[in-house]
Structure 1
Amino acid sequence: MTQHRFVPFLALALVACGRSETNPPTDPAAPINTAEAEAPAPTPPPGVGSIMPGSGPQTFVGRWAANVRWCANPRGAERPIEISTTRFEGYENSCGILSISQVADGYEAALACAAEGQTSNERVRMAVQGDAMRLTWLNRNGAAVSLVRCPAPEAAAPAS
């Protein structure tokens, strides 16, 4: 019987302790008041929408070359490839990005390509660290190439 007398005392003791720091499930949480929380959300590049999770396309969008000297070449075999959120453009080939998904080490993209009058479907993995990309051709036995990010054209042009 002494056990039943203890239960109301415990309930009364918990109420007397004051308001709990945890909000009930039906109440919204208090807002977080920090500079980071008040900063506006980053705006994705045009045409990206919500298909790019994680760190986003800024990791792979740009001009890339196997040799940094190629960055200055606008034409020819030794020129950079250009990757946007919708296109993958290289020497004598042009690909549309059909789909893209985030994977552990970057992004995998399905491409519809046209090169020298032929069409093909390709799959690539783009793994970027800083200004270096490892581009792996998934349907070419995992053939991989290391690329460097080219500076923006205006940054690469000599000062006048």
Structure 2
Amino acid sequence: MRTIAVTMPLVWLAWLVLTEWVPMFPLNDLRADNRRERLGDAAVNYPIPLLIAGGIALGYQASRIAALVLCLLVLAGHVASWWLPYFGISTAAQRESYTRDYARTLKVLPVQGHVVVPDVQHMAVGVLTLAMTGSTLAVTLTR
């Protein structure tokens, strides 16, 4: 389980890098005008899975707990960024960002009646986030 728990954050990171830098329309909608924002997001987001994987790999209970806390923060951020807005709880900034950056991307959820709809790219992030959190929780509880 420890190997899975170390690997999941790295898979999560690889997915982010792939979808944020490799054009794959309609999975993502990379444009020159959002490159600077993507660089900022990368500077904030990319170290987190490395810290999670490192915390698990260290093998200390305190480092595993710290990794779990980071996972829970990532999960909370994902829910706040995509699922709360999908169910009608969003800020003007979220709606504007969604319209600008994700309105043309691939979706499988119903769009009608929703201002913000998680696209396939971010649904995969959610699944990977759950897997990362679950494997980290399992390792933290079994040691």
Greater relative contact order: 1 or 2 (C-alpha under 8 angstroms, separation 6 or more)?
A: 2
With normalisation by structure 2, the TM-score equals 0.25
- Higher Cα Rg: structure 1 or 2? 1
